[in-house]
Amino acid sequence: MPLEITEDTNFRGFVHALNLTFQIPPKPEVRSQLLSVYKEKEKELRSTLASADDIVLTCELWSSRPEDSYLSVGCHFVDHLGNRKSNMLQTTSLLGDESAANIKNQLSAVIEAWGVKEKVHTVIRAGIPQLKNDKAKWSHMPCFADTLDEVFKDLKSNDEFSDVLRKCQNIVRFFKNDCEAEKKLRKIQQQLKIKEEELIMYSGERWFGWLDMLQRLHQQYQAMPMVFNERGKTELILNENDKEKIKNIISALEPLREVTSKMKRKGFETISVMLPLLKTLMDKLEEKKNNNVAQALLSKCKNKFGNVNNHPLAPNTFLDPRLKNWLKDQNKKQVMEKIVKELSAGRPGSSAKFKDLLERYVAYTPNDEKSNPFSWWRHTGKENFGELSKLALKKLGVVSTAVPLERAFSEAGDHFCNLRNSIEPENLNMILFLNSNWSTES
């Protein structure tokens, strides 16, 4: 929240009502205290990053207003105990220039400022299509959640679906804006014994927001036509074709929710789980042969994500001790050859040693799906498979989303963006940094 909130009369009254004795410090004192903590936490993070082996960056491009755009950069690494750490590094203004060159320059400046240039190997980006084909020292990868949103955005732009989605929005908007109509709707629901739940209005680009809106509308629609007829809003009545489209859209989006619900709900998920999740998603969409929306979604997923049975992320999945047997034999063989080549680069005569190492890794009992793959590679894996451990930690340390999962697949993401709109630019970097790196226990 903006620091001016401390001087707002209504906010001060609210705090006074909660605690009569608490005195809110003036804005300059609040900023001074935050700045002191910021410097302390920045120093701690610099020290921690100095001991990290490999670092993955996440980048999020966002705007508080049309003329203001910002780049938020986070970092991720595995510590010596086998725990993945995620921290915000910096939020910087792009000064209205969202070109690939400027974004790359700002990102390079952040990397230089934090002294991690030689440790960064991968950058996960959200909302930055400008860098899609950029040639850089590090690997660029799209955010999984962002790509799913793009898939749905492509689908939503189709006139066949956009018209019915707009009509659904108009239906919800009608009841939201007309309290008498809503009262009538509730009365009819009671008569029909339909569960009364608040309608959900959504107008963003995220697929889960649309799914929530459509599911709630579909559940309660039976009682609506009577209200539309009575209020002279017959243009809002859904015809049978509209209803069929809505059912198909809901049915097509439900597998997305089912798949993403299997990811951790806090923090960041390792990218090694992406291929199994994508395979499950595509299989479920494939089963819906008679659903044209599901088939369109499947086609767009294949276009965006590629062939899951022969994918660049296969080595990441293979090196996850929980998922090493997920790959098919032919794909596993190709992955092992690729890893041997990577490990033996510049080391003539070492291929046989690494091939034997991988064979022993394959024969080792797979880990439980709830186990920590980072901790396993830091200890058991390192002890049994030596140099393979360093490569595994590097590849498993890559995260799947550019923002925490609790924001990637929930309305918290939109809410967080709206809150940031109000923060003064000079305080923005400090507040977002502390939001990530200053624990509530402190």
Q: Are residues 237 and 184 in the same domain?
A: yes
What is the bridge-based pairing of β-strands 120-126 and 139-142?
parallel
> What is the phi/psi pair of residue 178, to 5°?
-125, 100
Q: Are residues 372 and 416 in the same domain?
A: no
What is the average per-residue pLDDT within 233-250? 96
SS3 of residue 116 by DSSP: coil
Label residue 309 by pLDDT band (50, 70, 90). Answer: confident
Give the domain-ending residue among 242, 258, 274: 258
Task: Let me know if residue 3 belongs to a domain.
Answer: no
Q: For residue 100, what are the domain limits?
A: 25-140+409-437
Q: Is the predicted pLDDT of residue 417 greater than 80, yes or no?
A: no
Instruction: Sheet with 68-78: list strands edge to edge.
Output: 84-93, 68-78, 55-65, 120-126, 139-142
Give the domain-ending residue among 233, 258, 283: 258
Of 83-92, 128-137, 171-180, 271-280, the one with minimum mean pLDDT is: 128-137
β-partners of residue 92 are 71
Q: Are residues 98 and 61 in the same domain?
A: yes
Task: Let me know if residue 17 belongs to a domain.
Answer: no
Task: Let me know if residue 305 belongs to a domain.
Answer: no
Longest dimension (CA), the chain: 84
Quick: pLDDT tens for 268-308: 999 999 999 999 999 999 999 999 999 999 999 999 999 99
Q: Are residues 122 and 160 in the same domain?
A: no
Q: Is the predicted pLDDT of residue 252 greater than 90, yes or no?
A: yes
Residue 279 CA to its chain's centroid (Å): 19
By the 8 A CB rule, do 301 and 155 touch? no
Task: Let me know if residue 225 belongs to a domain.
Answer: yes
The predicted pLDDT at position 129 comes to 83
Residue 131 CA to its chain's centroid (Å): 18
Name the region of 215 (left: φ>0; alpha: ψ -120 to 50; beta: rest). Answer: alpha
What is the rounded CA–CA span in Å between residue 58 and residue 127?
Answer: 11
Task: Let me know if residue 169 belongs to a domain.
Answer: yes
Task: Let me know if residue 293 belongs to a domain.
Answer: no
Which DSSP string do the residues of 330-399 spell out, in sequence order?
HHHHHHHHHHHHHHTTT-TT-HHHHHHHHHHHHHSPPPPTTS-HHHHIIIIIHHHHTTHHHHHHHHHT-B
By the 8 A CB rule, do 6 and 26 touch? yes
Q: Are residues 109 and 210 in the same domain?
A: no
β-partners of residue 124 are 58, 141
By the 8 A CB rule, do 139 and 131 touch? no
Which DSSP string do the residues of 250-314 spell out, in sequence order?
HHHHHHHHHHHTTS-SSS--BGGGHHHHHHHHHHHHHH-TT-HHHHHHHHHHHHHH--TTS-TTH
Quick: pLDDT tens for 346-363: 898 899 999 999 999 999
Q: Is the predicted pLDDT of residue 163 greater than 90, yes or no?
A: yes
What is the rounded CA–CA span in Å between residue 435 and residue 41?
Answer: 11
Mean confidence (pLDDT) of the chain = 91
The predicted pLDDT at position 370 comes to 87
One-letter amino acid at 268 equals F
User: Environment class of residue 274 by beta-carbon count within 10 Å: exposed (0-12), middle (13-18) or buried (19+)?
Assistant: buried
- For residues 348-368, one letter each, b for 16 or more C-beta atoms within 10 angstroms of the residue's C-beta and e for the rest, the string is eeeeeebbebbeebeeeeebe
* Angle separating helix axes 144-156 and 240-260, nearest 10 degrees: 170
The predicted pLDDT at position 133 comes to 75
Q: Total structural domains in the chain?
A: 3
Place of tokens 């995620």: 86
Q: Is the predicted pLDDT of residue 393 greater than 80, yes or no?
A: yes
What is the average per-residue pLDDT within 236-255? 96
Q: Are residues 182 and 243 in the same domain?
A: yes
Q: Is the predicted pLDDT of residue 442 greater than 60, yes or no?
A: no
The predicted pLDDT at position 251 comes to 97
Q: Are residues 55 and 110 in the same domain?
A: yes
Q: Are residues 165 and 99 in the same domain?
A: no
Q: Are residues 181 and 88 in the same domain?
A: no
The predicted pLDDT at position 3 comes to 85
The predicted pLDDT at position 137 comes to 80
Task: Let me know if residue 290 belongs to a domain.
Answer: no
Total residue length of the chain: 442
Q: Is the predicted pLDDT of residue 428 greater than 80, yes or no?
A: yes
- What DSSP designation does 141 have? E
Quick: pLDDT tens for 73-85: 999 999 998 999 9
Label residue 135 by pLDDT band (50, 70, 90). Answer: confident
The predicted pLDDT at position 441 comes to 63
The predicted pLDDT at position 57 comes to 96
The predicted pLDDT at position 5 comes to 85
Q: What is the pTM of this model?
A: 0.88
Closest-CA residue to 81 (of 319, 378, 320, 373): 378
Percent of the chain with pLDDT over 90: 72
Place of tokens 């990397």: 111
Q: Are residues 122 and 173 in the same domain?
A: no
The predicted pLDDT at position 96 comes to 85
The predicted pLDDT at position 64 comes to 67
What is the average per-residue pLDDT within 103-127? 93
One-letter amino acid at 102 equals N
The predicted pLDDT at position 66 comes to 65
Terminal C-alpha separation, the chain = 19
Non-local (6+) Cβ contacts of 159 within 8 A are none
Q: Are residues 207 and 136 in the same domain?
A: no
Give the domain-ending residue among 238, 258, 278: 258
Task: Let me know if residue 131 belongs to a domain.
Answer: yes
What is the average per-residue pLDDT within 98-114? 93
Q: Are residues 107 and 131 in the same domain?
A: yes
Quick: pLDDT tens for 150-160: 999 998 998 88
